[in-house]
Each structure stands twice: as structure tokens, then as C-alpha cells.
Chain A
Amino acid sequence: MKKLLTTLLIVYSCSSLHASAAKKIRLLDTLSVPTQDSIRRDTLIEVEIVSTGYQRLPRERATGSFDFINQELIERNPATDFLSRLENLSPGMLFNKGDASRSDPFLIRGRSTITADAQPLIVIDNFPYDGDISNIDPNIIGSVSVLKDAAAASIWGARAGNGVVVITTKRGLQRKPTIEVSSIYTVQPKPDLNNVSWMSASDRVDWELFLYERGYYDVAKMSNTITARANPIPESIELVLSGPPDLDKRLDALRNQNVKEDLSNHFYRNASSHQHGISVLGRSENYQYAFSAGYAAEQYDLVGNSNDRVALRSANEYQVNERLKLDAVISVVMNNTTHSGNNGLNMINYGRFGLSPYASLVNSNREAAPYYGNYRKAFLDTVGQANHLDWLYRPYDEINLSTNKVDTRDYLIGTGVTYTVMNGLTAHLNYQYQQQLSIAASHNSADSYYARNEINRFAQINPQTGSVIYPVPLGGILSTRNETLQGHQGRGQLVYENDWSGGMHIINAIAGYEIRSKVTDRNSSMYYGYNEKISVVNNRVDHQNYYPLSTSAGTDRIINSQGLSKFTDHFLSSFANASYMYRNKYTVSTSIRKDEANLFGVAFNRKGTPLWSVGSAWIISNESFFRVPSIDFLKLRATYGLNGNVSRMASAYTIARFDATGFIHSLQNASIMTPPNESLRWERVKMLNLGLDFSLKHQRVSASIEFYRKNAVDLLAEVPVDPTLAFTVAYANVASMQNTGVDIEVGYRSLSSAVNWNTSLIYSYSTNKVTRYLMPESNRGYIYANSLYGINPVVGKPLYSAYAYQWEGLDAQTGDPLVVMNDVISKDYLGVYNAPLGDMKYLGATQPIHFGAIRNDLSYKGFKLFVDISFKLGHIFRTESLENGLLISQWYGHGDYARRWQNPGDEMNTFVPSVVYPANTHRDRIYKLSSVHYHRADMFRLENVRLSYTIKNKGRAFRHATIYVHGNNLMPIWKSHESIDPYYNNTPREFGRFSLGLQFHL
């Protein structure tokens, strides 16, 4: 590569002088020059210039799979984050929601790795963006290119296996400065907590009385140990034990309480956000500028949780002389996220047994009520003879007493030099520095329950004098975690673009080197006795000694969490890519890239495997023999190539961990944690892409159909190894997967004068399966079936699959769940639990197989209405139901309790088994994984509806102004499950977001 570059340098140094005589040098960005392709058509249509991050080229000339999303489409969704705005815009891009988002929230053309990160690479202008994606202000985006196949993405080599999203920022294109101003206000009603199924307060009280009678709470009657006195018991049982004369009346009062009302009224609110942006864009003869500033503030539906972001960006290009152009980018993003001590509906955070459905968190005077989820009231009243700090836990007060803040500062400075060596040949040098500081502080104030509880637990009280010593100092507790990310990226690149003989030959080539370094430092600390008003901490905390606790017979040390870590990623790459177009009909393209990284060790880097691609395209409609009047454009494309991916589960080196002493000596010694794997290498994704683009009837209909197959090989996965090698399991590049899919995009536009109607359909079909995996299958199928979104590779099946026990209803005599195992109806729950996967039923993938959207735009004069519908089909989800064991051990339970089998005959009307005491763990497990809970998650949803009105007025103060109302995340139009929306499967159901937006272009 070095040699090649040297040669190129010589060519360039000599030929440039020759070229200086050339008459015409293209000024500024080639982007702005309308290409012949666009002029050729009698209807002038904006040419889509896609960007790979290395170069920009008209989409028509590309062989690969590029998708182009323009600014108008980006602004179609008013979300404050950039990723949400990409939803439903490009085929092949999948945004998983609901339970499925636990697997992969965002994918391009499916997951093709087992252990590596599956998130697509995000590139802003020239360089990959390493920071937090939520720092990207949508306001800066001019367009987005999505690179999906090998030819498009392979220029990114080892990081392109998951696809690439290239953001091109706004540029000033017109001499008259454009000022874009926008404001969006959004509200979203508070979520519906009743979407989470809970057993009723009344059922819970009855159930607890039943448990009491069976002796479950007998231990609470004893008071011989601290633990027995301290351990909380449900409020109903406290009542029974205290035995007031009006017991029944008071129990009935509990039965009528509903904690969800307290939560909904006092812990949740309507979410809202507002965002404002201003961009100033323009150019003069030799200067191009773009400034933008954005502000976004969000209040989430949980009281106390919010986020705000300020983003500033300045991008300038300066044409020094005919040949030399300089550019500079400076961007600063400040993002602050605050989470309060509001647990919302997260019931397990309320104490050792969760939140009881009849708890009262706020009393009638709107004051916080205590909740005895950690200790019994009687214990708190007596322990330490009232010498402790207030020990009550009042969840409602906690909202304001604890905060968890993450402040991020993201600085980015980039600079570039472009030198036009001769007509067609330019040399580019680019450098970018990024620093992202993230400061997370979790502050439990002096009054917070967490701080008071820690202080009290450790407090040493002298029973005679009542004097108290506080090993945990009085005051708040502050935990901090700081992270600094520093990235340097540099690139030297030669670009050659030229055409001859009136465009008969068009050549487009680049070659260069790239260097990237990303270093992440983290540190965390914990401070006691923190007083935020005067910023003092107590640093005399004894973390060494064990103290007797007030809450148990044991001792404990005061937690000290301190840590330091540092991660380094180094990459060196060389790349080249070229395309040639002949007579505007035939295009061939090729690319090659070699990456080296500090992950793989010298031995591998020395060998290296280049990643490459080849592609070709044929514009049939430009052939003279092509005479189909209705088809005005027809193009065939095919590409094949190799992209890469990185998994960090293994190391090329021996990794050891040190210990201070051995077993029989006190010498420092080291255990080997990971064996060296010298043949560790990039995961590789071989990708075939076939595409057909056409447009009909003067571009009224345009379509693109693509078929792809991705064979991911050398995937890093666990593999059994010969024990002679000292390990029985290791990570190695041994697994393979295959993704197959189709992406279709069809657009229709009516060209009538008054009413304009545009519609587009995007549709994707995407499947994947594991084709090679060497770990022996566990002989217990339960392990695979229990986790729907964990990775349990099974050869021949999708990476995320649903398996279940074949449901056979309830036993008519006992209400026990029945399943079919090996053609026999079984109640042998332990036996079924131990059955292999082969005896279970495979139900399908848990990520959608068919997905897409239909976008409709209707415009009449200044009015515009659009309606977006999305669909996801072909996948499976699992609904929740009653867990008998949880019903006993916790203070809550699933609402299916009310539908449980109670008497013979009930089995005709319900699938919820009888409740038994004591519980049978395996019975619960088998019921949970039986096919009765698995359903198709198919759905069509109304995503966006917007009505806007635009005034165009060239003479006045603005060029045009738009006002709109917008609804987003509106509702499912159709879903295969009659009652449960898979997006909100037993979680609070969110409602639509409604926005009011204003846009001015001055």
C-alpha cells in the first residue's frame, strides 16, 4: 500500500503542474454541480448524491445499495433524537420496539454476528462518530445515506459488517444566506399503568390471609432474632397480628386501595418536550459557511426525569486559491440527563418483596406516606430506642431526595485541506479530534432514604447512655463516575474524478490511509458525608473494619466503590476504491481495504486479510435498443464483497490477572484468564446484493428492489476445545450465520397541478439463521426457551428464537397445567424441565421477518397532509401470566390470579392453573414456557400524521414559513393479539406524542 501511495504521489506531483494549465477547475463542492444525469431528463429532478463518508457520488452511478434520506424526510418525525427520525424511512432498517428491543434496538439487514456489537456504524461527514448517539442534534443533518451492501459499505472495511449510516451535515449552497429557524413543542399524555397486569388489592389481601392461615408468616410472630423482628410482612398481616376490634373493616379498607392510582396521580405526569433550532447557511465566491445552534429539552413521564441538550456547530470552507481549499468544523454538544429517585412502577425497587397493590404512597393531604417494604414498623419503632435518624421510607418524598445526573460534553474539532492537483485529481488531508466528557453523579441527599438507611444500619448506639457513633457519617452519599473519551482520526486521500469524450468514460477513484485512535478512561468514586451546599465530604470513612449492624446479627463493611479503567482502540487502514462508467450505461466498481488493529496482535496484523468488493451496474434504459416508452429508467445492479466486524470476547494475547499471595506462599502470582489465540481475526460478512431500479411514466413511479444474502463467517463464539490445550471452552472464530432478505421501495407521485399525492412503500423481508456453531447443545431445552432475547445459538435456527412446551390445557381435576412431551400428556414437570430442545416446539423468530412502512403525502396549495403507517410481521412474543412462586414470595402478583382454575369445569374457560401452596418451581417454569403464552406479534401501526400549512412569500421577510400539527406513535391499526400490544407487553402503555411545529426559512 505504501508503495502504491508513493507511486501515486509521484504521479500527482508531476501531473499537477501539467494540469495547472487546465482551463477549468471545479470550484467548491462538486455536490452542488448539477450532473448531466439530472439535466438529461426533461423533468428536472434533484439528483440524490449519496455519501460514503469518503466520497460523494450520484446515486444513479452507484453499483451498491445506497439509500438516500433527504432533509425533508429527516424532519418528518419531530423526535429529539436522530435515530428515531430514521424510523420507517429506509427498507432494511429495523427498529425493534417493546420486548424485541432487548435483543437489538437498531439493525440494518438483520443481525449477522453472535458476540460482536450489531449496531451499524454512524459516520458524520468524514469520520465515524464514537460518542453517544443521543448527542447528535437532528438540526444539523442535511441528508443521510444508508450503506447496506458490500460495495457501499466496504470502504469502511472492518467496521462495516452491520451497515453504515452516513450523516451529511447541512451546507450553504446559495449566495443569499439562508436562515432556517424551527421550533417544535410536543406533549404526550401520561402512560396507562393499567396495561400492567396486577392482581387486585382485594385478591392480594385474601391470598395473604390464606398464607397466614397456612403458617407462612409464623416466623413474624417470633421475636427471638433481629432478623425475625426486622423482616417486613404485608400490611394485612400486620393488621391481623395486632388484632384490632375493627379488623374486618380495616382489611376491607385495604381491599379498596389501589396503589396504581397513587402512582399515576403523583409519580407520573404528561411528558413534554420543546426543541428549537437555527441554522445559517450560505456561500460567497470562495467561502462556504454553515452555523447551527439547537436546544432541546424533554420532560419524561416519570416526575423528576428530564433531559436537555445544547448543540452548537460551525462548519466553514475557504477556497484559498484555485487549488487549495481549507475547511474547519467545530462542534460542541452539552447534554444533561437527570433521573430522580422516582421508581414509578418498577415494583421491585420498593423493598425486599416489592410493591403491594394496596399500598398507599400518598395520603389524602398529598403528603408522602411511609411504606414498610424493608423493615417492619414495630422494628423501626423500637430499634435503637429512638436514637436513630428517621428511618421511614417514603417513596413519594424520595422523588426529590435522590438524583442521578449524567452530564455529557462533546467537543469535536475537525480540519481538512483539499488540494486540487490537476483537473480531476485532488488530494485531501483530514483530521478530527473528539473529546467526550461524561460526568455521572448519583446523589442521595442527607434526607434520602438510602443515606439515612446506611447511616442507621451502621450506627453504633450505646444502650446505657444513648450516645451514638456514626461509622457512616451524617450527610448525603455521592457516587460519581467519570468517563473521558478521546479520539483522533486522520486521513490522507487522493481522489481522481474525470471524464473523457463528452462523458463517454467517467472514472472515479480514491486511495488513502487512515489512522484512528480512541482512548476511553473511566474512574468512579464514592463519597460519604456529602453536603452539596458547601461541597464538603467526609474522607475519614473506615472501609476496612466490620461493624455490627442494627438490622441483623451480622456485621458489614461500609461500601467503597472506586475504580479506574482504560480502554484503547487503535486502527490503521489503507483503502482504495474505483469505479468506471462507460457511455452512461455500464458501471464497474471495486474497492479494497486493509485494516489493522491493536486487538489482534502483531502476528495477525502481519498477515491481514483485505476486505474488498466488486460491483457492476447496467442502465438498460440508456441503451439505444431500449424502446419502452413507459419505462424511463431501468438499471440492474450486482455487488459482492466482504465486510468486517469486531468482537472483543477473545484476545490474541495471553491475559493474566495478578494476586498478591499464593496458596502456600506469599509471593505475587498471576493466573491466566484467557489463552492467547494467535489466529484471532475479523469477523467477515460476505455479502451478495442484486438490485433493480426503475421508474415509469415520467418518474411518476419509481422503485428499487434488492435481494441480498449475507454469509457471516469467522464469527467469534464459544467453542469446546481439546482439554489438552488447558481450557475446555474458548472463544474462537468458528461460527457462521446467514441472513437472507429482500428490500423493496416503491414510490408514486402524481404530477397534477392542484392536488399532489405522493406515496411510498418500503418493505423488507429479513431472516437469519445460525449455520455453524460448535458448542454442544445443552440437554435442557428450557435454557434456550426461557430467554427469548438472549443469544442461544442453535444451528439452523434464527439467533433469537422462541421455543415452547406444547400446551394441553388444564387438568380437569386439579387445575394443573398439562403439556405434551413426546406425544404423551405430561405433568412430570421436572422431567419436562429436563427435556432436550428437540422435544420442544419451535415457534419462530422473535424479531420481525417482514417489516416496512407506507408513507402518504397529500398536498393542496400550501396545505400538506401526511400519514405514515408501519408494519411488522412474522415474529413471536410471549405474554406474561401468573407465577405461583412469585405470588408467595413477593407482595404482588399477575392479574391472571383472578382467572385461575378453582373448581372442576373452570378448565373450559381459563388457561390459568390452580394456585397451590407450597409452590412447585418446575410447574411454574413449564407453565410460563408453554405455547399458550406465545403469540404472533404481527401489527400495523399508525405512526405519523401531520397537517402543515406553508406560506411562500418571496418578497417579504421570509422565503417560506410552515406551521404544522403532528401526531406520532399513535396507535396500532391492527394487531394479531386481540388485547396485548407487543410494543407494550405488560409495561405501561404509552400514548401518542402530539407536536406543534413552526419553521421559517428567511
Chain B
Amino acid sequence: MAGFPWDCNFTSKKMKKMKKVIIYIVAFICTYGCSKSEFLNQKPNQSDVVPQSLTDYRAILDQDRDVNGMGGTGRGPVPGLGEIGADNYYIPDANFRNLRPQHQNYYRWDEKVYLDYPVFSWNWPYLTVFYANVVLSGLESSDFDSDSQEYRELLGEALFTRAHAFYHLAQVFVPPFDDNNLDLPLGLPLRLSADINEDLKRSTIGETYARIEDDLLRAKNLLSSEPLVKTRASKQAVYGQLARLYLTKRNYESALAYADSCLYIQNELLDYNSLNADDRFPFSDIENNPEIIYLCNMATPTGSPISSQHARINSDLYESFMELDLRKKLFFQSVVDGYTFKGSYSGNLPHFAGIATDEVYLLKAECLARKGDTIAALDELNYLLSTRWHRDEFVPFNTNHDLPILDLILAERQKQLIFRGQRWIDLRRLNQENFQITLKREMDGQEYFLLPNDNKYTWPIPDDVISFYPSMPQNPR
């Protein structure tokens, strides 16, 4: 029978020997105990790069295919469903029949829109959000020098990238911002970590907008105004995006302030006289397009309704461009059955949906006009348009114009920002302000309408998302 520890009877020699053994064993335990986390943190496969350093995070945010939608893969942080629902285009009957059934439903604003095809307008912007979250989680979890320039830039860019994608998702999948609906649980599922086990639920509309606003306001103090490439966020990009945000919230005063700040940093316009209208893509020199503040594309799958394969420019819209307006030739290409769009600032087929100075000028002009400062508003508008018309042919608008100045500015806004994803956002906002714009689709003699403030201005959450969260509320339709 074994003895008990308390009735030990030591002899010194044996004690010594025992001590030695104990020291060895303790040393063994310590050796690994001390470096245990290091031992267990070894990479299982050396060629896997587990992002850990600022250089790694820099590289992740520079992945311009997934973050900005470059490379013609149909990706991008801006949902294509907005532009698809808007009134810049129509689809001739013959082309309509070639559309994928789900895309036909999109075009008709159907009651039940989604069939079995992925909703890329949801998936791709959330991919961008994921990249931003990988960086944000990484920056938080390690001990980086949070005052270093590199750290601040990465943090700012990631915050901007996520807020920018959330903003655009909200314009498509969340009911229009209104002071009365902020508590409705119809906001976005705000995905804020990179872990695939994150449990998601829809936030309230107020929470969605607060998250966008907070992240942008945080980012604004972190970023510099001299980005190395336009696919990276910058101070002016944040200002531009904040101006957009407040415009959407119909807080025109703040919108004006941020538009001003944005233009203070970057205000150059591209003189359209320097472009060649015969080019297949007149804006292909994106490197030297001084208007681009932030470069990203719209998420549109191949063969989407707004691809130039199917879409033709709304005739009234096309006709509203004067002959001496250079845009008529630079933006549009004549095809057998109408006109297609070729004026993307992406310099190719993908639809540019980033931020550019032309938009900020228009935004500023609108806010000035709403403030009643018509002269200043017209100055901004005329400055912009003078670069869009044949040199010396442009007759500046003056206060004697027969249209209200605001309407004039809004009309120019639609024309300049065609296929930039802005029209849908504007339609939601303007109808909230009683502009009473009704959209119409016509095919095979059948007419479909989208009435002002209709529930269909909010696209449903994709069915495969809802299927994961049975209690997630769907948008009323």
C-alpha cells in the first residue's frame, strides 16, 4: 500500500537524486509550456499565407478584382440591381426573350423575382465586405503600431470599403431612409467579422445608416488625400461618399459641406473635347481621367439586363442630349435597333460605379439650389457642362431658364451619371419628395409600371440568404 505524502521520511542522498529528477521533469514541461502558443501556431502548410502583417493586409485590400470589381469578372461592391430597376434603358422584345428568366423578372419588377440563379448584386458586394472585414479583424487582433501611417491608411481604407459597400447594398435591399422608419428591422445584415460562423440578423434601418456614417467619419481622419492608385480609398473619396450618404438622407446641408470638402481636395474635370468619339471606349485611359476619385465597378453578371448586349438607351433620355453636347457621341453607340452605352469610366464594358468629381459637382449644385443659392448652383453646373460640350459652343444656363433650376440640375444629373448606379438612388429619394416619377416597361404589348414609393423600390433579400435564417424578415413587396 502506498504511503501518503505527509508521512514522508527523507534521507538526504535520496532527496538529492529526487530533486534532480524533478528538475528535469519540470524543465521538460516548462520548455514547451513557455513556447506553447508558438508551437501551436505553426502553419500547417508553408505555402498557405495566413495574413498577419500589414504588408499582407495591404495586399488584400489591393486585390482589385474582389474589392473593386476590376478585371471584367462581373464583380464589384455596387449592386447592379439598382441600375437594372431604373429608367435609363429599355430592352427590345427580341432581346428580352434572350434574357435569363430571372433577369426577365428583374426587368419587369416582378412580384417574385428570384429563381435559381445567384443574386450577384448581393453576393459580390458582400465579398468586398468580407475582404474589408479580414483586414479589420486582423488589424484589431494584433499588436500593430496604430499611429503608423500604414496602419492608419489600412484601417481607413477598410472602413471606407465596407461602408461604401453597405451604403450601396442599402440602396437596393433596404427601404428608403426616412426619419419615420429608422426602427424597422429591415436594415442590412451587418457583417462585421470575417468568421464564417458569424450569426447574422437584419439590423434596423437606423443601425445600418449609423454604421455607414460612423465608419466613414472614422475613416475620414485616417486617410491621406494622395492615394497611390485610384482603387484605394482616400480622404476625398470618404468626403464624396459622405456627401452621397447625406444626400440620400436628404440632409442637404451636410451633403453640401462634404461635397465642398471633397472638391477642395480634388476638383479637376476631364475636358471631353480631348476625347475621340470614334473610339470603342472613349474613356479607356482611366489612369489619366482626372475625375475619378474612387475606382470601382458595378456587380453585374454577364448577360444582365443592362449589358449593352440587351439594353438600349431610353429614347427620351438620348434625345435630351443636344447635338453639340459631346456626350451624345462619347456615351452612346448606334446599333441596329437603338443606342447602347459605351461611356463607362471603367474604360470598358463594366459599369463604373465609383466616385468622380463630375458627380460631386452635380451634387453640390443640387444642394446649393435646394438652399436657394441659385447663382452658385448654376455656376457649378455650368462649370461642369462647359467641359461636356463642344469647345466654345456651350451657352451657360442662367436664372431665366424656363425650368426650375433644381429640375434642370436633376435632369443633367441623370444625363451625366447614366449607368453609374445613381439613378435608382435618386428615384427613391425624389419620389420621397413627391416628384411622382412613374417608370414603365413595355414588352410584347404588355405594360408594367413602377409607381412612386412602391415597395418594389426595395428588392427582396435573396431566398438562399433567408433560407439560412428562417426568422429573418423579408422586404414587403
B48 touches A655 (CB 8 A): yes
B33 touches A2 (CB 8 A): yes
Residues of chain A contacted by B28 (CB below 8 angstroms): 429, 490, 492
Interface set, chain A 649-668, CB cutoff 8 A to B:
651, 653-659, 662-665, 667-668
From the candidates A9, A424, A658, A668, name the one contacting B25 in the complex (CB within 8 A). A9
A724 to B5, CA, bound (A): 60
Residues of chain A contacted by B40 (CB below 8 angstroms): 570, 572, 596-598, 602, 605
A424 touches B2 (CB 8 A): yes
A721 to B126, CA, bound (A): 13
Residue of A572, A596, A655 with most partner-chain B CB within 10 A: A655
Interface string of A13-24 (1 = CB under 8 A from B): 111111110000
Count of CB-CB pairs between chains A and B under 8 Å = 221
Residues of chain B contacted by A599 (CB below 8 angstroms): 44
In the complex, A727 has a CB within 8 A of chain B: yes
Residues of chain B contacted by A670 (CB below 8 angstroms): 49, 51, 56, 59-60, 62-63
From the candidates A13, A498, A602, name the one contacting B41 in the complex (CB within 8 A). A602
Residue of A490, A566, A597, A653 with most partner-chain B CB within 10 A: A653
Residues of chain A contacted by B49 (CB below 8 angstroms): 655-658, 670
In the complex, B229 has a CB within 8 A of chain A: yes
A722 touches B51 (CB 8 A): no
B9 touches A17 (CB 8 A): yes
Binds B, one of A406-414, A673-681, A757-765, A970-978: A673-681
In the complex, B4 has a CB within 8 A of chain A: yes
Closest residue of A by beta carbon distance from B72: A663
Main secondary structure of the interface of A (DSSP, over half): mixed
Interface set, chain A 306-342, CB cutoff 8 A to B:
none
Interface string of B429-452 (1 = CB under 8 A from A): 000000000000000000000000
A995 to B66, CA, bound (A): 64
A565 to B48, CA, bound (A): 10
Closest residue of B by beta carbon distance from A605: B40
A677 touches B122 (CB 8 A): no
Interface set, chain B 1-48, CB cutoff 8 A to A:
1-11, 14-15, 18, 21-22, 24-26, 28-29, 32-33, 36-37, 39-48
Residues of chain B contacted by A605 (CB below 8 angstroms): 40
Interface set, chain B 59-117, CB cutoff 8 A to A:
59-60, 62-66, 70-71
In the complex, A725 has a CB within 8 A of chain B: yes
Interface set, chain A 409-457, CB cutoff 8 A to B:
419, 422-425, 427, 429
Nearest Cβ distance between residue A716 and chain B, in whole angstroms? Answer: 13
B70 touches A15 (CB 8 A): no
B5 touches A15 (CB 8 A): yes
From the candidates B10, B47, B198, name the one contacting A725 in the complex (CB within 8 A). B198
A722 touches B468 (CB 8 A): yes
Interface string of B125-141 (1 = CB under 8 A from A): 01101110010001000
In the complex, A669 has a CB within 8 A of chain B: yes
Nearest Cβ distance between residue A7 and chain B, in whole angstroms? Answer: 9
A659 to B70, CA, bound (A): 15
A569 to B59, CA, bound (A): 28
Closest residue of B by beta carbon distance from A522: B46
Interface string of B176-209 (1 = CB under 8 A from A): 0000000000000101001111101000000000
Closest residue of A by beta carbon distance from B119: A723
In the complex, A5 has a CB within 8 A of chain B: yes
Q: A13-B22, A572-B36, A598-B43 are in contact. Are A676 and B196 (CB under 8 A)?
A: yes
In the complex, B407 has a CB within 8 A of chain A: no
B3 touches A18 (CB 8 A): yes
B3 touches A732 (CB 8 A): no
B44 touches A648 (CB 8 A): yes
A724 touches B11 (CB 8 A): no
Residues of chain B contacted by A536 (CB below 8 angstroms): none
Residues of chain B contacted by A732 (CB below 8 angstroms): 196-197
From the candidates A597, A651, A656, A724, name the one contacting B200 in the complex (CB within 8 A). A724
In the complex, A513 has a CB within 8 A of chain B: yes
Q: A429-B25, A679-B197 are in contact. Are A667 and B228 (CB under 8 A)?
A: yes
From the candidates B26, B42, B194, name the one contacting A675 in the complex (CB within 8 A). B194
Residues of chain B contacted by A19 (CB below 8 angstroms): 2-3
B126 touches A724 (CB 8 A): yes
A668 touches B196 (CB 8 A): no
Residues of chain B contacted by A5 (CB below 8 angstroms): 29
B196 touches A17 (CB 8 A): no
In the complex, A44 has a CB within 8 A of chain B: no
In the complex, B395 has a CB within 8 A of chain A: no
A671 touches B63 (CB 8 A): yes
From the candidates A15, A566, A723, name the one contacting B2 in the complex (CB within 8 A). A15
Residues of chain A contacted by B118 (CB below 8 angstroms): 723, 728
Q: A598-B39, A654-B134 are in contact. Are A669 and B64 (CB under 8 A)?
A: yes
B130 touches A656 (CB 8 A): no
In the complex, A730 has a CB within 8 A of chain B: yes
Interface string of A487-504 (1 = CB under 8 A from B): 000101000001010000
A678 touches B48 (CB 8 A): no
Nearest Cβ distance between residue A578 and chain B, in whole angstroms? Answer: 14
Residues of chain A contacted by B469 (CB below 8 angstroms): 722
In the complex, A11 has a CB within 8 A of chain B: yes
From the candidates B3, B5, B21, B56, name the one contacting A419 in the complex (CB within 8 A). B21
In the complex, B465 has a CB within 8 A of chain A: yes
Residues of chain B contacted by A657 (CB below 8 angstroms): 49
A533 to B48, CA, bound (A): 40
Closest residue of A by beta carbon distance from B131: A672
A797 to B58, CA, bound (A): 47
Residues of chain A contacted by B32 (CB below 8 angstroms): 515, 572
B130 touches A675 (CB 8 A): yes
In the complex, A920 has a CB within 8 A of chain B: no
A659 to B118, CA, bound (A): 28
B37 touches A653 (CB 8 A): no
A873 to B354, CA, bound (A): 66
In the complex, B231 has a CB within 8 A of chain A: yes
Residues of chain B contacted by A596 (CB below 8 angstroms): 40
In the complex, B295 has a CB within 8 A of chain A: yes
A236 to B317, CA, bound (A): 70
Nearest Cβ distance between residue A439 and chain B, in whole angstroms? Answer: 20
A90 to B62, CA, bound (A): 58
Q: A425-B2, A513-B29, A669-B63 are in contact. Are A598 and B196 (CB under 8 A)?
A: no
In the complex, A10 has a CB within 8 A of chain B: yes
Residues of chain B contacted by A676 (CB below 8 angstroms): 134, 194-196
Q: A664-B231, A678-B195 are in contact. Are A569 and B44 (CB under 8 A)?
A: yes
A17 to B119, CA, bound (A): 75
A20 to B71, CA, bound (A): 78
Interface set, chain A 225-256, CB cutoff 8 A to B:
none
Q: A11-B5, A670-B59, A725-B126 are in contact. Are A568 and B42 (CB under 8 A)?
A: yes
A11 to B9, CA, bound (A): 13
Interface residues of A (CB under 8 A from B): 2, 5, 9-11, 13-20, 419, 422-425, 427, 429, 490, 492, 498, 500, 513, 515, 517, 565-570, 572, 596-599, 602, 605, 648, 651, 653-659, 662-665, 667-672, 675-679, 720-728, 730, 732
A-B residue pairs, 6 tightest by C-beta: A726-B130, A18-B3, A566-B46, A663-B71, A670-B59, A14-B8
29 contacts between A and B (CB under 8 A): A10-B5, A15-B5, A18-B9, A19-B2, A515-B32, A565-B47, A566-B45, A568-B45, A572-B32, A651-B44, A656-B51, A657-B49, A659-B63, A662-B62, A663-B64, A664-B70, A664-B295, A667-B62, A672-B63, A675-B194, A676-B134, A676-B195, A721-B196, A722-B200, A723-B464, A724-B191, A725-B130, A726-B123, A728-B118
Interface residues of B (CB under 8 A from A): 1-11, 14-15, 18, 21-22, 24-26, 28-29, 32-33, 36-37, 39-51, 56, 58-60, 62-66, 70-71, 118-119, 122-123, 126-127, 129-131, 134, 138, 189, 191, 194-198, 200, 228-229, 231, 286, 295, 462, 464-465, 468-469
Known: A670-B56, A728-B118. 10 other contacts (CB 8 A): A9-B25, A490-B28, A513-B29, A658-B59, A669-B60, A671-B65, A720-B464, A722-B200, A723-B126, A728-B464
